[in-house]
């Protein structure tokens, strides 16, 4: 007999049909409008940074809780829903999936110029740094393919997702109001159906390692390449490539670990080599603990279910019910959306 709390979830293929996407945009537009009018635009960012609320939103928009593409399609629907409300609600969305994500900095700049937002540079920095941290500092085997930033006049929230070689997905949530540092425990939450032993350079335990990595980055490139040959057997880290990357940091002379990782060309392999050298030379402990805080199947990827916090879950449902009841949509869409969350 199976114990309760276990589920086998299918990987769903395909994409949301046009008719459903159209309804999702309309419904999410009214939800966004009501939340921002009742609680302010910053509250929407707080809720989007909550993985349970975000998952609930995806479900009430038309997905099963384990439907494929919940993250990317929900974000896309929100982006389209927010477009005509930018001036009215002072909330904005940039980014998306694949190549669209690469254009995020330019998109932020255009919006900030149009709406006279003074924090444009800091939003661009937040977009780039959150992506850099999740691709180079949290070395968990997941390659980012989706990046979305939501922002108001002075606050932001980032939602991004990665895939690994076995088609597992992992979602990363960031929130500016909770952020104390980009390089030390920066995430609001990381969600994944699997946990692993990974190299986590933004863990509190890796603080001394970050200091040592910074110290090593100021050594001459040829010295670092020699150290690599002597101490590190990882063949995926080329001494020549490492030397070129360290040459960039040597020329820039960064004053902090955050400045170091912001340098273009300093990627995951360079940081991994410097981290291993720091451990060998300085005895700097590294964290290999996976920073996942919520383990559940999201985006329709096969995996174990999450331990449901019923109080939080019911609260999310009631919030959404209230929003849908007030929404300016047809009666049929309201009933169908509410039935989806009846428990």
Q: Compute the CA torsion angle 189, 195, 198, 204 (nearest 10 deg).
A: 40
Q: CB within 8 A of 309, min separation 6: which ones?
A: 52
Q: How far apart are CA 186 and CA 266, in angstroms?
A: 19
- Any idea which residue has 């150290």 for tokens? 227
Assign 161 to helix, strand or coil: strand
Q: Give tens-digit pLDDT for 202-214.
A: 999 999 999 999 9
Q: Is residue 77 very low, low, confident or very high in pLDDT (cuts 50, 70, 90)?
A: very high
Q: What is the DSSP letter of 139?
A: E
- Closest by CA to 63, choosing from 92, 35, 36, 27, is 27
What is the edge-to-edge ordering of all strands in the sheet holding 156-163?
Answer: 92-97, 143-151, 156-163, 169-175, 189-191
Residue 149 and residue 126 in contact, taking contact as beta carbons nearer than 8 Å: yes
Q: Give tens-digit pLDDT for 217-272.
A: 999 999 998 898 888 888 788 888 898 999 999 999 999 999 999 999 999 999 99
């Amino acid at each position: 007999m199976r114990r309760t709390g276990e589920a086998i979830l299918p990987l769903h293929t395909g994409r949301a049909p046009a008719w459903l996407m159209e309804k999702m945009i309309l419904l999410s537009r009214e939800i966004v409008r009501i939340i921002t009018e009742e609680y302010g635009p910053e509250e929407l960012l707080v809720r989007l940074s909550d993985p349970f609320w975000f998952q609930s939103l995806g479900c009430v928009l038309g997905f099963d809780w384990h439907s494929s593409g919940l993250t990317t399609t929900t974000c896309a629907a929100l982006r389209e829903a927010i477009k005509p409300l930018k001036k009215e609600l002072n909330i904005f969305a940039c980014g998306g999936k694949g190549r669209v994500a690469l254009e995020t900095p330019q998109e932020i700049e255009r919006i900030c110029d149009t709406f006279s937002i003074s924090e444009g540079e800091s939003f661009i920095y937040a977009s780039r740094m959150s992506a850099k941290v999740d691709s180079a500092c949290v070395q968990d085997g997941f390659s980012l393919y989706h990046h979305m930033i939501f922002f108001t006049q002075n606050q932001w929230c980032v939602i991004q997702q990665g895939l690994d070689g076995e088609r597992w997905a992992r979602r990363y949530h960031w929130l500016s109001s909770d952020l104390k540092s980009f390089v030390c425990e920066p995430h609001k939450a990381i969600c994944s159906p699997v946990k692993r032993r990974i190299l986590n350079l933004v863990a509190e335990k890796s603080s001394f390692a970050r200091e040592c990595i910074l110290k090593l980055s100021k050594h001459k490139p040829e010295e670092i390449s020699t150290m690599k040959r002597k101490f590190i057997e990882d063949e995926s880290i080329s001494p020549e490539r490492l030397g070129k990357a360290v040459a960039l940091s040597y020329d820039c002379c960064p004053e902090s670990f955050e400045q170091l990782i912001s340098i273009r060309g300093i990627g995951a392999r360079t940081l991994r080599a410097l981290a291993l050298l720091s451990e060998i030379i300085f005895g700097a402990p590294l964290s290999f603990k996976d920073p996942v805080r919520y383990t559940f199947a999201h985006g329709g990827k096969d995996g174990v279910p999450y331990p449901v916090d019923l109080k939080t879950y019911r609260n999310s449902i009631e919030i959404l019910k209230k929003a849908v009841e007030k929404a300016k949509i047809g009666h049929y869409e309201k009933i169908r959306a509410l039935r989806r969350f009846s428990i």
